[in-house]
Amino acid sequence: MTSGNSWCVQLRGIHKYFFRGSERLDVLNGLNLEVPEGEFLALMGPSGSGKTTLLNLIAGLDKPSEGEVWVRDQCISAMSEAQLARWRTRNIGFVFQFYHLLPVLTAYENVELPLLLLPLSASQRRQQVETVLELVGLKDRMHHRPGQLSGGQQQRVGIARALVTDPALILADEPTGDLDARSAEEILDLMVELQRSLQKTIILVTHDPRAASRTDRILHLDKGRLVDHLPTESAPPRRSPRVPSGG
Amino acid sequence: MKLFLLVLKNIRRNLLRSILTGLGTMVLVVVVIMVWSILWYLDEQTREKTSNIKAIVTERWQMPSRMPLSYAPELCAGSARRPEHVRPQDSMTWQFYVGSTEPGRLSRESALFIVATQPEKVLTMFDELDTLPPDSPDRRQLEKAIQALKTNRQALIVGRERLEAINKRVGERVKVYGMSFKRIDLEFDIVGTFPEGRWNNLSVMNWEYLNAAVDAYNRQPGNRPHPMTERSLAIVWLKVPDTRSFTAVATQIAASPSFTNPQVKVETLASGTAAFLEAFRDLIWGMRYFLMPAAVVTLCLVIANAISLSVRERRKEFAVLKVLGFRPAHILGLVLGEAMVLGVVSGLLSAAGVFMVINFVFGGLKFPIGFFGTFYIPVRAIWWGLAVGSATALIGSLVPAWIACRVRVAEIFARVG
């Protein structure tokens, strides 16, 4: 099964619902979405609108109740948990709001974690880790533990960890949500720079209109439906004229 | 190996908890090893052998066994009356002389339990003494004492603990007031001790001295024959090469017309010991089926509790690992690995520690049961420690590890966000 086109992500008729007792809670309602290769996409919406659920579906962390999720040429909604785990190692980089670095490991070791699952020698791993740490400007802090780094630096480590396996798709769940304005701006600069230089497809979930305005396209989710998606080319550089306020 | 380093780092994460869990494991492994050492030793003693069998002949219907000394020659020959009869390879007689160093008072500090036997048999028939390495200092020292026992009828070899208890030293003289042979008091020259171990509380004298003393008592004008005269023989030991020989000798003795009043019975040392240990059946049952399982279950619970706490605190972390591509099997391995490392290290350390401390510092585990006053931790206990530590760690961490590997990422991050 292949999708046979240049979409990086394609969602077809996605429904996601949960049951609380006998009551059905619809989180995503018949959602269709296509994200081209190399696009930097922002997903916005109020709390409970289904943004994180959608991100989890794209990352293969959850399965749709109905519909199909395609990432590049693979229908990941049909994969088993073990297949998905293996697939994620190579194809997905995930950046969390709260960084979620392992406190017992140094920055270097945190970034190295996904590489432990790949058949690489120690020197190959070292080379890849040092390359991405240099890319995020933290090579001089690579032996620091998360507790010895600022929030912005920890998020840079998180980004390096997402990039280290050279995945096609980066998913970022409110990566600036826990940072002060200056650090948030630095992280966004870094992400834009990485997307441009490395041609990664990035899907950014955010409540922050300023963060969303740095992307190529903004989609708005409300009650499990895509209610608005506007290209940002006509706006001032990398800003959308119709970004819904309040996130 | 790559993930093993992660396991080690996770153990260091909450060092205090890891140390406390390790210490808890060590304490329980120590209990298990000590109990197992006793049970193992008793099992060894009651396991029937198929070669180099020691048989014991005792009075059939009475405990303690009291046979006439006149039984000794025929019993020592295995009642072999015809050329085709099987003869024992070796034999020894035991008469028990229990006495006190204080007249009329038997206390822990004064009691002496003396076996009157043939001196030359000490090195050939006594368990564990018969296997002393030829050139070992213990053997050389014992040979010297046995030589003194042969040449000096009043010589006495005393077990180390007993010697200490009666506050005497080798070279000193001691007078023993007879309790089992009343009115027959004997003076001894202490000529040596047994090697540290099983015979720590036993003493051995030359049987000729005891029997000469009984004869002398009987010869004294006005004395009636001493009541022990015809019932002084407690045990006859026979050594036979195999089960077939044992059966033949036992049949010969049973068929002999010489042993009708009182009748005698022949059994292997193992079955004799087992019969003796029947008196301690409840205690041994309790150790084997209650104390041991209780310690093992407690150990599992200690580990399960510690690992469960750790898993509960790190649910988000496991979810992150899954996001990074770790499969459930990886996470299962990480959690089991942490428990196993704790269990293996604690088990090994405690086993090695208890082996060294009990054997070399305390001189054995004092647990008076039957003839066995002191138990030693066998070298194999180190492997028991390893096995108990790792097995209980594995069992105790199975459920928490399963919970960890079943963490649902979407649910965890739904709670976070």
Q: How high is the mean pLDDT of chain A?
A: 86
Query: Considering B227, B262, B297, which residue would you say is the last residue of a domain?
Result: B262
Q: What pLDDT band is residue B95 in, cutting at 50, 70 and 90?
A: very high
B176 in the same domain as B152: yes
Q: Are B104 and B194 in the same domain?
A: yes
How does the average pLDDT of chain B come out, rounded? 89
Here the contacts of B362-368 (C-beta below 8 Å, separation 24 or greater) are B363/B196, B364/B196, B364/B197, B364/B200, B365/B34, B365/B37, B365/B38, B367/B38
Same domain, B296 and B222: no
The tens digit of pLDDT for each residue in A216-235 reads 999 998 888 888 654 454 33
Question: CA B282, CA B278: separation in Å to the nearest integer?
Answer: 8
Is B36 within a domain?
A: yes
Q: Is the bond into A237 cis (omega within 30 degrees of 0)?
A: no
Does some domain include residue B198?
Answer: yes
B51 located within any domain:
no
Q: Which residues of B sit within 8 Å Cβ distance of A?
A: 2-3, 6, 9-10, 12-13, 316-317, 320-330, 409-410, 413-414, 416-417
Instruction: Write down the pLDDT at residue A231.
Output: 47
Q: How confident is the model at residue B280 (pLDDT cuts 50, 70, 90)?
A: confident
Q: Final residue of a domain: which of B262, B292, B308?
A: B262
Between chains, do A59 and B13 touch, taking CB under 8 Å as contact? no
B293 and B409 share one domain:
yes
On whether residue B273 sits in a domain, the answer given is: no
**Whole-prediction pTM:** 0.70
Percent of chain B with pLDDT over 70: 97
How close does chain A come to B27, measured CA to CA in Å?
28
Same domain, B95 and B230: yes
Q: Inter-chain contact B414–A52, Cβ cutoff 8 Å? A: yes
The total of structural domains in chain B comes to: 2
Query: Do the Cβ atoms of A114 and B325 come within 8 Å?
Result: yes
Half-sphere exposure of B265 (CA within 13 A, CB side): 13
Q: How many CB pairs under 8 A join A and B?
A: 72
Averaged pLDDT for residues B228-251: 93
Structural domain harbouring B99: 62-262
- Rounded-to-integer distance, Cα B362 and Cα A245, Å: 79
Phi, psi (degrees; rounded to nearest 5) at B235: -140, 145
How do residues B238-247 score in pLDDT, each as one tens digit?
999 999 999 9
Provide DSSP, A143-188: T--GGGS-HHHHHHHHHHHHHTT--SEEEEESTTTTS-HHHHHHHH
Short-list B81, B62, B60, CA closest to B257: B81
Question: Which pLDDT score is estimated for B369?
Answer: 66
Interface of A with B in 85-104 (CB under 8 A): 85-86, 88-90, 92, 94, 96-98, 100, 102-104
Domain match, B253 and B312 both: no
The answer to whether residue B238 is domain-embedded is yes
* A98-102, A193-197, B409-413: range with lowest mean pLDDT: B409-413
Chain B contact for A189 (CB, 8 A cutoff) = no
With an 8 Å Cβ cutoff, is A235 touching chain B?
no
Give yes or no for residue A239 having a pLDDT over 80. Answer: no
The predicted model gives A98-120 an average pLDDT of 92
State percent of chain A over pLDDT 70. 90
Q: Is the dihedral of CA B113, B116, B120, B124 positive or negative?
A: negative
B344 within domain boundaries: yes
pLDDT band at B414 (very low <50, low <70, confident <90, very high): low
Q: Is the model's pLDDT at A2 over the cut of 50?
A: no
- ipTM for this prediction: 0.83
What is the per-residue pLDDT across A155-203, written as a single tens digit (0 to 9) for each? 999 999 999 999 989 999 989 888 888 888 988 998 898 888 888 999 9
In a domain, B235, yes or no: yes
* Pick from B123-137, B190-204, B268-282: least confident: B268-282
pLDDT of B306 > 70? The answer is yes
pLDDT per residue over B320-343, tens digit each?
Answer: 999 998 999 999 999 999 999 999
Q: Would you tell me which residues 121-140 of chain A have a C-beta closer than 8 angstroms to some C-beta of chain B?
A: none
Are residues B169 and B29 part of one domain?
no
- For residue B268, is it within any domain? no
Q: Evaluate if residue A138 carries a pLDDT over 80.
A: yes
What is the structure's pLDDT at B335? 94
- What pLDDT shows up at residue B371? 61
A3 shares contact with chain B (CB less than 8 Å): no
Residue type, A220: H
Residue B336 has, within 13 A of its CA and on its CB side, a CA count of 15
Q: Identify the burial level of A23 via C-beta atoms within 10 angstroms of its C-beta, where 0-12 means exposed, 13-18 middle and 19 or more buried.
A: exposed
* Domain final residue, candidates B235, B262, B289: B262
Contacts of A174 in chain B (CB under 8 A): 417
Q: Is residue B4 predicted with pLDDT exceeding 90?
A: no
In the predicted model, is pLDDT for residue A20 greater than 90?
no
Name every residue whose Cβ is closer than 8 Å to that of residue B236 and which is 6 or more positions away in sequence: B56, B57, B58, B67, B71, B72, B75, B76, B91, B92, B93, B94
In chain B, what residues touch A97 (CB-CB under 8 Å)?
A: 416-417
